[in-house]
Amino acid sequence: MKLTLKIWRQANANAKGSMQTYPIDGIEGDMSFLEMMDVLNEQLINKGEEPVVFDHDCREGICGSCSLQINGEPHGPDRGVTTCQLHMRMFNDGDEIVIEPFRAKAFPVIKDLMVDRSAFDRIQQAGGYVSVNTSGNTIDANSTPIEKENADAAFEAATCIGCGACVAACKNASAMLFTSAKVSQYALLPQGQVEASTRVLNMVEQMDKEGFGNCTNTGACEVECPKGISLENIARMNREYMAAVSKG
Amino acid sequence: MSILDAKIPEGPLADKWTKYKNEINLVNPANKRNIDVIVVGTGLAGGAAAASLAELGYNVKTFCYQDSPRRAHSIAAQGGINASKNYQGDGDSDYRLFYDTVKGGDYRSREANVYRLAEVSGNIIDQCVAQGVPFAREYGGLLDNRSFGGVLVSRTFYAKGQTGQQLLLGAYSAMNRQINRGKIQSFNRHEMLDIVKVDGKARGIIARNLVTGEIERHGAHAVVLATGGYGNVFYLSTNAMGSNVTAAWKAHRRGAFFANPCYTQIHPTCIPVSGDHQSKLTLMSESLRNDGRIWVPKKIEDAVAIREGKKKPTDLSEDERDYYLERRYPAFGNLVPRDVASRAAKERCDAGFGVNKTGEAVYLDFASAIDRYGKMEANIHKIDNPSAQKIYDLGRDVIENKYGNLFQMYEKIVDENPYKTPMMIYPAVHYTMGGLWVDYNLQTNIEGCYAAGEANFSDHGANRLGASALMQGLADGYFVLPYTIGDYLSNDIRTGKIPTDTPEFDQVEKDVNDRIHKLMNASGKHSVDHFHKKLGKIMWNKCGMSRNAKDLESAITEIAALRKEFWADVKIPGSADSMNPELEKAGRVADFLELGELFAKDALNRSESAGGHYREESVELDGPQKGEALRDDVNFKYVAAWEYKGEPKDAVLHKEDLKFENIELKTRSYK
């Protein structure tokens, strides 16, 4: 395959960025999108130019590092995959592909396609945990049966990889899907209920403080989420939040 | 006596850990506030250790090269975590988990460490459930279990195919709680580039801020390395792209012994290599072997026809298929340990029975499991005379529920539907049992420098059983280090803050800067990846699933030559004083180029076959085990701990004899 890549290049957080064009040839359908980027970078290095910087690590869709906006969509045109699992067979010979970083005020660009998603960490630090010590001196794991349905739903919410595609997809750059997934995981489990009120209040407060926008229920986040995190989580978080507020 | 003192407590095996905990020194809470601990790596071992140490009251600094602790590669572990809960009532116990692990490791691990691991395993599950880790449950609301290779009980707890993710997010949440309290300072996008010793004790590290390129000094009373394994020395592996040996190797260069570097786990069920562009390999969890049956065609003509695209696997009838694991190992069948399964796949493919275009793939087939589950579900739901399609649909739902994300991952990568046609798999480098030598306290032979999780060597011997890595990482981090490190730190309550404006820090920082300068100024012709790929080829061809003296000797020479070439000819664009991923990679590959040589030297020295280390010269020639790997307990019942002496080829071997007081050394049979 012969392709034309239009890539956002930005030297550092303070520099002004711009789109650059790179023709590329010899791309095979079995390559992942990032392996295609590897080919480009190898060519750039051999020419003495700086390779394109992008976040990536596990390359199996679970670490949540990769974060490219491809042809206007987070993680590109395929559904239910991260960029590292997107394969070039999704594209055709002669295509032009536009590659940008995830765009959001709360995700400033570090370099080229790499953004700073530490806002997500701070939301988790505000309350995304159960306050038990790790001494192991707790009750036996099977002493609290949990309905399978709830356990499974908690698991589904907990599969969020924290990549930020939901924010990049949202016209308001809202982090509601991300935050609600964590809130839901704990809200659905007895272990999480003790601190449910303070958790949701603190996490939402931090989310707002980071500069993420509000949710207007367009549902773009759910469509683009590589792990299929459901909008129901946002509804659940809103209920949790209202309950916590009314409790005072 | 050897200079290696494992410091194993006296007394009966089952009492050692309890008795030891009762006797060690403690640090009072007020004094803990004056003690700093550095934890490098935030996977299961590092994340768990950091959270636990901070809870106890120590001031913790964590370091990870990723942008968040949550992205450490423990996240990618799929299948599960073992614990001797015996919830299934199928005869499990601490002793049996201990026994299986020692046997699975081919009798090359330390009894006392492994027993402790089994002893604390149940606590891990209690702890994780208390943290809100959503393990799979049965309809009655209790925890579900499944089975893994090399064992005859169901002791594996799981969360679909994302167990590592859920456990890591649990540890990360415990870390977050301490970050919020100010007890952990988390340095993300930072890479440790060296360790600083003061009066022989580890007292800090030099790290590079990967965003700004700044070189930083961090002092502490103890340093924990929880930096994972070195599988990326093979270039292609199931490790993350950034996984590296640098922290462990730097400790090695500063005096820590590196143990059993040749013990590598080649995992039998990975997606086969598709071409030269490949940057990494993807695991298909071992849990799939609970339900998948592994086979190749019986007749070579059929294998050829499949490779040429003239036949499909589904065209072959049952008696045209060779379920070679079931044939060779009737007792364990498809659930033999990983090393055995990998070698058996290689044997069939080398004999010409491989089923993809490269000839390096075997089938993992779910058709009979779908049928079996379908019939079972039809029974449960009282469906009389279900159609074949109905049975398939019901069975497919069960399989999807158990392994859905793995099937989806496979389909995205290979572009084939594994519900309809068998998966193709081939072994790939997955885990390294070798690592920094540690004593019972998980302390390396540098005082104050600890190694936890995959970074140490201690618990898995020559082969790790499935679902035991998560167990070991969390055991080390949550339940072992918090005790043992306290014993050491009790001597530091009057030390005061460790200053970093000292000649020792000056010197190490200078060494780090000199090395970066040398890399940046090589101004050669080839990219870092060019050298890394070359190294990987040597390692895979000569130090892979099957090893012999001649190949290992040539690997040593070739790696040394490649290292020389690398330093003269590597090309790194950009500058050192800003973000530069090529420079990061170069530093890691430079260390792999040293480790690789030591790896080959260790493999050459160990002329027995043990676990994942298979020497062609050491096989059973006769009897029921004919053709299987042959261990040599007379000459090799030891841990090979290597001391750094400049060049890897000059490394000096120290032996820790392994004592088996509770388990009889036997030939490992899975027949």
> Which phi and psi (to 5°) does residue B205 adopt?
-140, 160
Helix (H) or strand (E) holding B51: helix B44-56
Mark out the alpha helices in B438-569 (DSSP H runs): 469-474, 481-489, 503-520, 528-542, 549-569
- Does one domain contain both A9 and A98? yes
- Does one domain contain both A11 and A57? yes
> Percentage of chain A with pLDDT > 70?
100
pTM over 0.80: yes
> Which phi and psi (to 5°) does residue A26 adopt?
75, 25
Residue A190 touches partner B, C-beta closer than 8 Å? no
Find, among B470, B448, B482, B441, the residue nearest to B55 by Cα: B482
| Nearest-angstrom CA–CA distance, B617 and B199 | 45
Residue A103: pLDDT band by 50, 70, 90 thresholds?
very high
| Nearest-angstrom CA–CA distance, B381 and B394 | 10
- Does one domain contain both A131 and A80? no
Q: Which runs of E-coded beta strand occur in B244-361?
A: 258-259, 264-270, 293-297, 321-322
- Does one domain contain both A236 and A190? yes
> Which phi and psi (to 5°) does residue B4 adopt?
-95, 110
| Nearest-angstrom CA–CA distance, B343 and B350 | 10
When mean pLDDT is compared across B405-409, B417-421, B628-632, the lowest value belongs to: B405-409
Residues from chain B that touch A32, judged by Cβ atoms under 8 A, are 279, 413
What are the tokens at A228? 């299929």
Residue B2: pLDDT band by 50, 70, 90 thresholds?
low
* Min distance B188 CA to chain A CA atoms (Å): 9
Nearest chain B residue (CA) to A54: B581
- Does one domain contain both A41 and A102? yes
Q: Locate the domains of chain B by residue range.
A: 267-429, 505-634
Residues from chain A that touch B283, judged by Cβ atoms under 8 A, are 60
Nearest Cβ partner of A56 from B188, B241, B527?
Answer: B241
What are the tokens at B618? 């050491």
- Select from A70, A96, A111 the last residue of a domain: A111
pLDDT > 80? residue B524: yes
Domains B267-429 and B505-634 share a fold: no
Residues from chain B that touch A199, judged by Cβ atoms under 8 A, are none
Q: Which pLDDT value is given to residue B149?
A: 80
- Does one domain contain both A234 and A152? yes
Whether residues A87 and B413 touch (CB distance < 8 A) is answered with yes
Are the beta carbons of B166 and B159 closer than 8 angstroms? yes
Nearest chain A residue (CA) to B401: A152
Q: Which pLDDT value is given to residue B1?
A: 44
Are the beta carbons of B355 and B362 closer than 8 angstroms? yes
Amino acid at A17: G
If one compares B172 and A248, the residue with the highest pLDDT of the two is B172
> How many CB atoms within 10 Å of residue B523?
11
| Nearest-angstrom CA–CA distance, B566 and B589 | 9
| Nearest-angstrom CA–CA distance, B209 and B67 | 11
Nearest chain A residue (CA) to B120: A136
Domain of A105: which CATH number? 3.10.20.30
Nearest chain A residue (CA) to B74: A63
> Which phi and psi (to 5°) does residue A70 adopt?
-110, 120
Give per-residue pLDDT as tens, B277-320. Answer: 999 999 998 889 989 999 999 999 999 999 999 999 999 999 99
User: B93 burial class (0-12, 13-18, 19+ CB within 10 angstroms)?
Assistant: middle
- Does one domain contain both A101 and A156? no
* Average pLDDT of span B239-265: 98
- Select from A111, A138, A165 the last residue of a domain: A111
What are the C-alpha distances in Å from B223 to residues B194, B197, B218, B433, B442? Answer: 11, 10, 10, 21, 12
Are the beta carbons of B507 and B519 closer than 8 angstroms? no
Nearest chain A residue (CA) to B243: A57
| Nearest-angstrom CA–CA distance, A44 and A161 | 31
Residues from chain B that touch A50, judged by Cβ atoms under 8 A, are 573-574
- Coil/strand/helix, residue A243: helix
CATH architecture of B267-429: Alpha-Beta Complex (3.90)
A 75-134: CB under 8 A from B: 78, 80-81, 85, 87, 89, 110-111, 114, 116-118, 120-121, 124-134
Catalytic residue of the set B338, B464, B547, B615: B338
Whether residues A61 and B177 touch (CB distance < 8 A) is answered with no
* Average pLDDT of span A135-157: 94
Residues from chain A that touch B85, judged by Cβ atoms under 8 A, are 141-142
Mean pLDDT of chain B: 96
- Does one domain contain both A55 and A175? no
| Nearest-angstrom CA–CA distance, B167 and B186 | 19
pLDDT > 80? residue B411: yes
- Does one domain contain both A104 and A152? no
Helix (H) or strand (E) holding B451: strand B449-451
Nearest Cβ partner of B412 from A87, A124, A158?
Answer: A87
Residue A196 touches partner B, C-beta closer than 8 Å? no
Q: What does the DSSP 8-state code read for residue B26?
A: -
Residue A199 touches partner B, C-beta closer than 8 Å? no
Q: What does the DSSP 8-state code read for residue B162?
A: -
Whether residues B579 and A111 touch (CB distance < 8 A) is answered with yes
Is residue B343 part of the annotated active site? The answer reads: no
- Does one domain contain both A124 and A106? no
Only one residue has tokens 């395929």, namely A78
| Nearest-angstrom CA–CA distance, B336 and B670 | 7
| Nearest-angstrom CA–CA distance, B492 and B498 | 10
* Average pLDDT of span A120-146: 95
- Coil/strand/helix, residue B161: strand
Residue A62 touches partner B, C-beta closer than 8 Å? yes
User: B363 burial class (0-12, 13-18, 19+ CB within 10 angstroms)?
Assistant: buried
Number of domains in chain A: 2
Residues from chain A that touch B581, judged by Cβ atoms under 8 A, are 51, 53
- Cβ pairs A/B, distance under 8 A: 218
Strand pairing category for B222-225 and B36-40: parallel
Find, among A186, A155, A157, A169, the residue nearest to A222 by Cα: A169
- Select from A111, A131, A156 the last residue of a domain: A111
* Average pLDDT of span B266-279: 93
| Nearest-angstrom CA–CA distance, B446 and B223 | 10
Strand partners, B642: B258, B653
pLDDT > 90? residue B274: no
Q: By residue range, what is the domain housing residue A48?
A: 3-111
Find, among B313, B280, B305, the residue nearest to B73 by Cα: B280
- Does one domain contain both A76 and A197? no
Mark out the alpha helices in B131-260 (DSSP H runs): 163-180, 246-253
Are the beta carbons of B522 and B573 closer than 8 angstroms? no
| Nearest-angstrom CA–CA distance, B543 and B258 | 17
Domain of A233: which CATH number? 1.10.1060.10
Taking each helix axis from N to C end, the angle separating B581-605 and B528-542, rounded to the nearest 10 degrees, works out to: 20
For CA atoms B493, B494, B497, B501, the dihedral sign is negative
pLDDT > 60? residue B419: yes
Helix (H) or strand (E) holding B16: helix B16-23
- Does one domain contain both A123 and A239? yes
Q: Which pLDDT value is given to residue B254?
A: 98
CATH architecture of B505-634: Up-down Bundle (1.20)
